[in-house]
Structure 1
Amino acid sequence: MSLLAVSLVIFSALLHASWNLLGKKVSPTVAFFSLAFLAGTLPLTPIVLPFVWDQGTVLFHLLPLLLLSGFCQAIYCSALALSYAEGAMSVAYPLARSIPVMLVAVISSVLGMQALLSLEAYIGVFLVLMGAVLLPMQHLRDFKVGNYFSRCMLLALLAASATAGYSIADKIAIDQLADHLPQSGLIVAVIYIWLEGIAACIFLFTVQLVRADDRHKLKTVLASQKKSIALTGAMITLTYLLVLWAMQLSENISAIVALRQVSIPIGALLGVLLFKEQLGWVKSVALILLCAGVFLILSPV
């Protein structure tokens, strides 16, 4: 993989951890992340519309996958925001990033979307599970079943499950879209990101606009956090575009996906440094296990 591709992916990982950090620091609410998602999607509209204007038939066939992906994105966005409001970023972020890698690998293998998992991948699944067990602890004596039913943990796991859901739906949908569009892979990816973003915003805002309290939160956050919303939205979109660009520069997609997970320790360390969250040796071991497990799962079969 070229130095440029490596640089793009590492910068993307830094951006991913950073926009999560910004969201937790400024306003860890569903309203904030929803508005940021919208802010990152709308600017793509003038670019995308000319390409999709005459593709009604294709988009109609993709509608079930787009709705599934949008629904999962909305669940992810909501669960992530609420998990940050309930607990430590150094716990929620690594779980939300590592568990989906394991779930996608296992589900894709079962559904026949990829080859059967290798021995290394099975070891990686075990390491991810061990890391998830250790992550909430400060000391080994802290092991209590109740620690794994905290709102922060459950919401982080819900976010992770939703990530696995939209990742699988996206893989199927974007392959179908690429088969019907003559544009380059990068343009197809931009088109799909916009379609997925619109679907996610429909679910996010439909739920929030129904309740008066949620409408008030949207207005309050928008009035007080315009700059942070715009910045977070731009970072969310740029994060994906950098990875897509890197994919155009390298044939080793597995290496790119694996390299993206450098955001796991980055996100955890940012939580420790900026929010003064406790790290401790047990959490450090857990992070090492999560990262090692992710790389083994993503290793070539």
Structure 2
Amino acid sequence: MEHLAIMLVVISAVLHAGWNLLGKRYSGSGISFALAASLAASFFLLPYLLWYLTVLGFERLPKEFWQLLLLSGFCQIVYMVGLVYAYKHADIGVIYPIARALPVLIVGAANLLLGFPLTLMQWCGFALITLGCVFVPLTSFTQVTFKAYWNWGVFWALVAAVGTAGYSIIDKQALSLLSQAAYSLLNDKQSAVFYLGAQFWAMGLPILFWCLLTNNKQEIIKAWHMRKNGSLAGAMMATTYGLVLSAMTMTDNVSLVVALRQISIVFGLLMGVWFLKERWFATRSLSVITILLGLFLSLA
């Protein structure tokens, strides 16, 4: 990976861990929090989307791009709702690493099928990142049992992990189509920002329509009441994933970007202790060391 791409992903990791603190605060309002954050980012980026489409021309975008965009939006919804509901059952130090690290192996395997093989050292690094998650939910090493992971918090974290793997793979394919369509008119960075804004609309509108169709007006009211913090989270989400999308345009193998994003796990653990007063255990120390070693091997 290019040094600039690495720097962008690391910065995004800090911001990503930060907006997850807001998600923890509103852990009992998963749908409304996702609605508030996504629509705030959507309206913020709307002027840019209109400018981009004016320059490019709506007709130049293939049907396959819009299909991938809708599918990515659905995966984003799965991720956000799964993550926020997971926080209802466990602290951020438990949920955040599981939801963020498990997609590493999934995306790595998917990219292998797409023709982007990894070295043995990179696979070892991916395995270590995932292994580091095993120790995070535990308070002692004697608790390494199946029962320790058999709870609703971990279940929803797995749901969030599936969503993450889904949109990571889809977004790289959609960005490639977008870059081809915009070739000679707009550069890859401009296309990445457009895709970011379009993705938030693909996430926020389905949630809003679902609330209206099911007459679930309470979620809309909750979203309005948390509009300030939701807007802050939306801005952080937009900045975070905008940096990631830019990094994706600099590498062919998206699994390396996904692996590097897992440094946010370390930031999430530390923020959970500093800001939410969550406890720190020796198992988490081992987890951090294992994850950092895995990241080193993945990018070496």
TM-score, length of structure 2 as denominator length? 0.87
Map Cα deviations across residues 183-206 of structure 1 (whole Å, 9 max, x no partner): 011110011112222212233223
User: 2:219 maps to which residue?
Assistant: 217
Gaps of 5+ in 2: none
CA distance in 2, matches of 1:34, 1:183: 30
Map Cα deviations across residues 80-125 of structure 1 (whole Å, 9 max, x no partner): 110112111011111222112221112211x23312x211122223
Q: Does 1:114 align with 2:130?
A: no
User: 2:67 maps to which residue?
Assistant: 64
User: 2:58 maps to which residue?
Assistant: 55
Q: More deviation in 250-259 or 46-55?
A: 250-259
User: 1:196 maps to which residue?
Assistant: 199
User: 2:76 maps to which residue?
Assistant: 73
Contact kept? 2:105, 2:127, Cα under 8 Å: no
For residues 117-128 of structure 1, what are the structure 2 equivalents within 5 Å?
A: 117-128=118-129
Displacement after TM superposition at 1:283 (Å): 2.1
When residues 137 and 29 of structure 1 are mapped into structure 2, their CA distance, relative to the original with a 3 A threshold, is same
When residues 211 and 132 of structure 1 are mapped into structure 2, their CA distance, relative to the original with a 3 A threshold, is same
CA distance in 1, matches of 2:110, 2:252: 24
**Alignment RMSD, CA only?**
2.8
User: 1:240 maps to which residue?
Assistant: 241
| Percent identity (aligned) | 35
Q: More deviation in 30-39 or 123-132?
A: 123-132
Displacement after TM superposition at 1:4 (Å): 7.4
User: 1:133 maps to which residue?
Assistant: 134
Q: What code does the residue aligned with 1:219 have?
A: I
Q: What code does the residue aligned with 2:240 have?
A: T
Q: What code does the residue aligned with 2:262 have?
A: Q
Q: Does 1:94 align with 2:104?
A: no
Map Cα deviations across residues 226-268 of structure 1 (whole Å, 9 max, x no partner): 2111111111111123445667899999886655433210111
CA distance in 1, matches of 2:110, 2:2: 31
Q: In structure 1, the residue corresponding to 2:166 is in which secondary structure?
A: helix
Q: What code does the residue aligned with 1:83 have?
A: A
User: 1:292 maps to which residue?
Assistant: 293
Q: What code does the residue aligned with 1:18 have?
A: G
CA distance in 2, matches of 1:241, 1:193: 6
Displacement after TM superposition at 1:45 (Å): 1.2
Q: What code does the residue aligned with 1:170 have?
A: D
Displacement after TM superposition at 1:148 (Å): 1.6
Q: What code does the residue aligned with 1:72 have?
A: C
TM-score, length of structure 1 as denominator length? 0.86
Contact kept? 1:13, 1:260, Cα under 8 Å: yes
Q: What code does the residue aligned with 2:232 have?
A: L
CA distance in 1, matches of 2:171, 2:248: 16
Matched positions, count: 295
Q: What code does the residue aligned with 2:227 have?
A: K
When residues 190 and 143 of structure 1 are mapped into structure 2, their CA distance, relative to the original with a 3 A threshold, is same
CA distance in 1, matches of 2:120, 2:4: 32
For residues 6-45 of structure 1, what are the structure 2 equivalents within 5 Å?
A: 8-26=8-26, 29-30=29-30, 31-45=32-46
Q: What code does the residue aligned with 2:192 have?
A: A
Contact kept? 2:104, 2:258, Cα under 8 Å: no
CA distance in 1, matches of 2:253, 2:106: 21
User: 2:170 maps to which residue?
Assistant: 169
Q: What code does the residue aligned with 1:198 have?
A: W
